[in-house]
Amino acid sequence: MGLWTHLRNMSDDYLWATIRIEKGVKKPQPQMLKSPAANGIIERDETPMEKEIARLHRVDFEFSDIFYFCRKGFEAIVEDEVTQRFSSEELVSWNLLTRTNVNFHYISLRLTVVWVIGVIVRYCFLLPLRFTLAAIGITSMIVGTTMVGQLPNSSVKNYLSEVVHLTCSRILVRALSGTIHYHNKENKPQKGGICVANHTSPIDAIILTNDGCYAMVGQVHGGLMGVIQRATVKACPHVWFERSEIKDRHLVTKRLREHVADKSKLPILIFPEGTCINNTSVMMFKKGSFEIGGTIYPVAIKYDPQFGDAFWNSSKYNIVSYLLRLMTSWAIVCNVWYMPPMVRKEGEDAVQFANRVKSAIARQGGLTELPWDGGLKRAKVKDTFREEQQKNYSKMLVRNGSIGNLSTGTESD
């Protein structure tokens, strides 16, 4: 009876702690600021530049126009829309893994005891079990695909290859205590098509392969990943590129078109963002995937951060540290939505098609749609972004005759 009362008190403490974290520390905040648990601390106005300036005064050049650009600059300094997408999303309540809530402070001794018990369970029981399953899955993948790769090309080889890939992927998902909910399976990618999905983690490919086989596209790696790549390509027509080849866009497009043209081959799996985004947004899709032709099968992936953080911040953690974090989390829970196939419309270029697919994935997954290139994770902003704003502003002045008025006034002086 005493043990039951003790556990009930611990449960009450955890509930109280969660409510306290959700409410946050009650401090007076200006009306313009949102709570830290919201999408951001800045109330952004998405009104186009021309409309916003016109709302303040007539659409002619005035020195007060600089206030618009100053405000945009301050917003970017305080909280830009790019860098915050490359750090783990903040949780509303603590999941007993890491302190990812700005309102979380020391709460109670009992809750600390629960956290310590959780550490013992995750590191002393779950981690060894998961590591064993992962070793079995990777070994089975290498051995199985190598053996199947020795067979001559035939329907039997294709069948055995799919069995090996599915079986090993499911073992690896079990190694992460994965719980995946697949929706609208009637829209699953078909052979000869291209599957495109938003990208949060390297395990995205395993999550999708758990429900069907795909031909992977990527760069050749070394180490253990290289061993797996060389083994799997013998059994399945994956498309691996050397570092020198991946920069040749025409060569990449040619090889992918040849793959898509063969309707007997598995659908290609591509992550057009090119880098991992933190499970809150979808960033710019590279147009190369949409220049190939064929049918596009969009897929939206959304992880539940309450049980574990699937996002890989590659600039902060190497792959070993990242996998250790995954295997010591409670579980990997996510939803996968298969969406109706999409084809390029007449008169639609590759960029417009990519944006249309990106918008559909963002809506389905409840993700924020951003126009920025994920390459900004490591690279500087291109000058073309700044020049584009300058051109838009100059066009606005020319269209409304401001430049002509200024020139006339100067000549008269």
At residue 57, what are phi and psi to the nearest 5 degrees? -165, -175
How much is the average pLDDT of 92-107?
A: 62
What is the reported pLDDT for 383? 73
In the predicted model, is pLDDT for residue 408 greater than 60? no
Task: Quote the number of domains for the chain.
Answer: 2
Residue 101 lies in a domain: no
Q: Are residues 338 and 202 in the same domain?
A: yes
**Structural domain of 151:** 109-376
Q: What angle do CA 66, 67, 70 make, to 5 degrees?
A: 85
Q: Are residues 390 and 358 in the same domain?
A: no
In the predicted model, is pLDDT for residue 154 greater than 60? yes
CB 60 within 8 A of CB 68: no
What is the reported pLDDT for 28? 40
What is the reported pLDDT for 1? 47
Between 167 and 10, whose confidence is greater? Answer: 167
Q: Are residues 321 and 370 in the same domain?
A: yes
In the predicted model, is pLDDT for residue 324 greater than 80? yes
- What is the C-alpha separation between 44 and 164, in angstroms, rounded? 50
- Model confidence pLDDT, tens digit, residues 259-313: 888 888 899 999 998 888 888 889 889 888 888 888 999 999 999 988 888 888 8
In the predicted model, is pLDDT for residue 335 greater than 90? yes
- Categorize the per-residue pLDDT at 412 as very low, low, confident or very high, splitting at 50, 70 and 90: very low
What is the reported pLDDT for 59? 53
Q: Are residues 136 and 207 in the same domain?
A: yes
* Beta strand residue intervals within 89-203, DSSP E: 178-183, 194-197
Q: Are residues 160 and 257 in the same domain?
A: yes
What is the reported pLDDT for 253? 80
Residue 50 lies in a domain: no
Residue 35 lies in a domain: no
Residue 361 lies in a domain: yes
Q: Are residues 239 and 269 in the same domain?
A: yes
Residue 346 lies in a domain: yes
What is the reported pLDDT for 302? 94
Q: Are residues 255 and 154 in the same domain?
A: yes
Residue 175 lies in a domain: yes
Mean pLDDT of the chain: 78
Residue 284 lies in a domain: yes
Q: Which of 326, 3, 378, 363 is nearest to 175 (CA)?
A: 326
List the single range of 253-257, 374-378, 390-394, 409-413 with lowest mean pLDDT: 409-413
Residue 30 lies in a domain: no
In the predicted model, is pLDDT for residue 196 greater than 90? yes
- What is the C-alpha separation between 20 and 25, in angstroms, rounded? 8
- What is the C-alpha separation between 247 and 256, in angstroms, rounded? 14
- Model confidence pLDDT, tens digit, residues 112-146: 788 888 889 999 999 999 999 999 999 999 999 99
- Categorize the per-residue pLDDT at 394 as very low, low, confident or very high, splitting at 50, 70 and 90: confident
- What is the C-alpha separation between 75 and 409, in angstroms, rounded? 35
- What is the C-alpha separation between 350 and 290, in angstroms, rounded? 5
What is the reported pLDDT for 39? 47
What is the reported pLDDT for 182? 96
What is the reported pLDDT for 108? 72
Give 194's strand partners: 268, 296
Between 227 and 174, whose confidence is greater? Answer: 174
Q: Are residues 284 and 404 in the same domain?
A: no
pTM of the full structure: 0.75
- Categorize the per-residue pLDDT at 37 as very low, low, confident or very high, splitting at 50, 70 and 90: very low
CB 21 within 8 A of CB 366: no
- Categorize the per-residue pLDDT at 30 as very low, low, confident or very high, splitting at 50, 70 and 90: very low
In the predicted model, is pLDDT for residue 245 greater than 70? no
Q: Are residues 116 and 262 in the same domain?
A: yes
Between 5 and 391, whose confidence is greater? Answer: 391
- What is the C-alpha separation between 59 and 402, in angstroms, rounded? 8
